[in-house]
Structure 1
Amino acid sequence: MELRLTGVGHRYGDREVLRGIDLEIPAGQIVCIVGPSGCGKSTLLRMMGGLEQPDRGEIAQIGAVPDGCLNPLTYIFQDFALLPWRSVAGNVSLVLEDHDIAKAEADAMIRDVLARTRLTEFADALPRQLSGGMKQRVAIARALVVKPAVMLMDEPLSALDSQTRELLMDDLIRLWTRTPFTAVYVTHNLAEAVRLGHRIVVLSRRPGEIREVVTLDKPLGARGYGDADLEARQKHLWEVMRAEAAAADAELLGA
């Protein structure tokens, strides 16, 4: 399944947040969305997931969902959103409990996704026993277990230290390489965008409009820390965003 946005715009009261967004999210790609603070990145993601409706334009789901898909659109948030009284396996099983799945099948699905996210030995651990990176790995496992058509990821690594972010990016690349998934990944971190994105969408300051779409052809598995090409792409993105980011910060301070 793909997402197609046509002429999408949105406002809160008299404040225009997004304007004229035309964008396609192809199946099997990770599309990163970057832009200055307050440019509407998270609002755009919420509209893709149906949590808000655009004032103008259309967001369409094109094509069939994957075999076995239980939730076409699934979120991964910055704050993990784990239930503290449930184990790792219990948090993952939560999203299966509203579906008519036999216990044996559900248990097999949980074992599979815990193995893929390297959480098998932590299946019985509680969230308070886990590091931030491990908690986010549980959130990723919970999203993957429903075999979503599109994962909507709202700054999922921003609360983590730099070392943990690197490890989680490696995890996401490994997971995508094994079984390609479709994702929209909102981030303010340009290094994350060039490591993970097949395409990077650069929004202007508010009202957010698409300034540029950068395509990265290098395979995810061939990208790594210190990659000169990725550093050049990151520098280009910052050059596109620099003036707008400074103006956006000045507007937010004056708001």
Structure 2
Amino acid sequence: MDIKLENISHSYDSFEVMRNISLDIPSGQIVCIVGPSGCGKSTLLRFIGGLERPTSGRVLQLGAPPEGCLNPLTYIFQDFALLPWRSVAGNISLVLEDHGIKGADARAIIDDVLARTKLTDFAKALPKQLSGGMKQRVAIARALAVNPAVMLMDEPLSALDSQTRELLMDDLVELWERQPFTAVYVTHNLAEAVRLGHRVVVLSRRPGEIREIVDIDTPLSAREFGDAELDAHQKHLWHLMRDEARAADAELIHV
């Protein structure tokens, strides 16, 4: 299933947040969205997910979701959103219970996503027993359990230390290589964007408009820390954003 944004604009009364954003999100790609603070990245993600409606423009879902898809659009947040009284397996089963899937059918799905996210040995653990990186793996496993058409990822690694972030990026690449998925990935971290994104959408400062779309052709599995091509992409992204990021910060200070 593809996602198509057509001329999305949004205002809160006279406060203009974004203007005329049109974007295609093809099936099987990770599309990263970057931009200065306050440019509307997370708001755009909420429009895609149907949590809010833009002032004008529309979001289209084109084509059928994958076979066995329970939720076409599924969120992954930075704060994990795990129930502390449920085990790892119990947190994953929650999204299946919403669809009436229980017993052996649920166990088969849970076992599969636990294996794919390297959590099999932690199925009975409670969230308080897990590190931040492990908690985010649980959140990813829970999202995979509903076989979504598109995963909407809002700063999913921003609460983690740099080492854990690198490991989780490797895990996401490995998951995508084994079974390509579609994702819209909002981040402030340009290194994450060039490590994970097939395309990186650069938004301007408020009102957010698409300044440039950067295609990264290097296969995900071939991208490594310190790679000269990725460094060049990251420098280009920062060159696009630097002055506008400074201006956006100055505006926030004076609000």
TM-score, normalised to structure 1, is: 0.99
Task: State the distance in 2 between where 1:203 and 1:227 align.
Answer: 25
Secondary structure, in 3 states, of the residue corresponding to 2:10?
strand
Secondary structure, in 3 states, of the residue corresponding to 1:10?
strand
State the match for 2:68 in structure 1.
68
**Aligned length, in residue pairs:** 255
- Do 2:96 and 2:102's aligned partners in 1 also have CA atoms closer than 8 Å? no
Amino acid at match of 2:24: E
Unaligned 5+ segments in structure 2 are: none
Give the C-alpha shift of residue 195 in structure 1. 0.1
**Identical aligned residues as a percent:** 75
Task: State the distance in 2 between where 1:237 and 1:87 align.
Answer: 40
Aligned positions of 1:25-36 closer than 5 A: 25-36=25-36
Aligned positions of 1:32-71 closer than 5 A: 32-71=32-71
Aligned positions of 1:204-219 closer than 5 A: 204-219=204-219
State the match for 2:119 in structure 1.
119
Aligned positions of 1:243-254 closer than 5 A: 243-254=243-254
Task: State the distance in 1 between where 2:99 and 2:59 align.
Answer: 26
Query: Structure 1 stretch 11-20 or stretch 113-122: which is displaced more?
Result: 11-20
State the match for 1:154 in structure 2.
154
Task: State the distance in 2 between where 1:52 and 1:170 align.
Answer: 32
- How large is the RMSD of aligned CA atoms in angstroms? 0.5
Give the C-alpha shift of residue 102 in structure 1. 4.2
Aligned positions of 1:7-22 closer than 5 A: 7-22=7-22
List per-residue Cα deviations over 1:149-199 (Å, max 9, x = no partner). Answer: 000000000000000000000000000000000000000000000000000
Amino acid at match of 1:127: P
Give the C-alpha shift of residue 101 in structure 1. 2.4
TM-score, normalised to structure 2, is: 0.99
List per-residue Cα deviations over 1:119-173 (Å, max 9, x = no partner). Answer: 0000000000000000000000000010000000000000000000000000000
List per-residue Cα deviations over 1:198-221 (Å, max 9, x = no partner). Answer: 000000000000000000010000
Give the C-alpha shift of residue 12 in structure 1. 1.4
Amino acid at match of 2:115: A
Amino acid at match of 2:111: R
State the match for 2:139 in structure 1.
139
Task: State the distance in 1 between where 2:51 and 2:134 align.
Answer: 27
Task: State the distance in 1 between where 2:103 and 2:129 align.
Answer: 26
Task: State the distance in 2 between where 1:48 and 1:163 align.
Answer: 31
Task: State the distance in 2 between where 1:100 and 1:90 align.
Answer: 14
State the match for 1:230 in structure 2.
230
Runs of 4+ in 1 over 4 A off after TM superposition: none
Amino acid at match of 1:113: V
Secondary structure, in 3 states, of the residue corresponding to 1:60?
strand
Is 1:170 aligned to residue 152 of structure 2? Answer: no
Task: State the distance in 1 between where 2:210 and 2:60 align.
Answer: 18
Task: State the distance in 2 between where 1:184 and 1:23 align.
Answer: 11
Give the C-alpha shift of residue 114 in structure 1. 0.1
Task: State the distance in 2 between where 1:100 and 1:88 align.
Answer: 19
Unaligned 5+ segments in structure 1 are: none
State the match for 1:2 in structure 2.
2
Task: State the distance in 2 between where 1:32 and 1:242 align.
Answer: 18
Task: State the distance in 2 between where 1:11 and 1:178 align.
Answer: 41
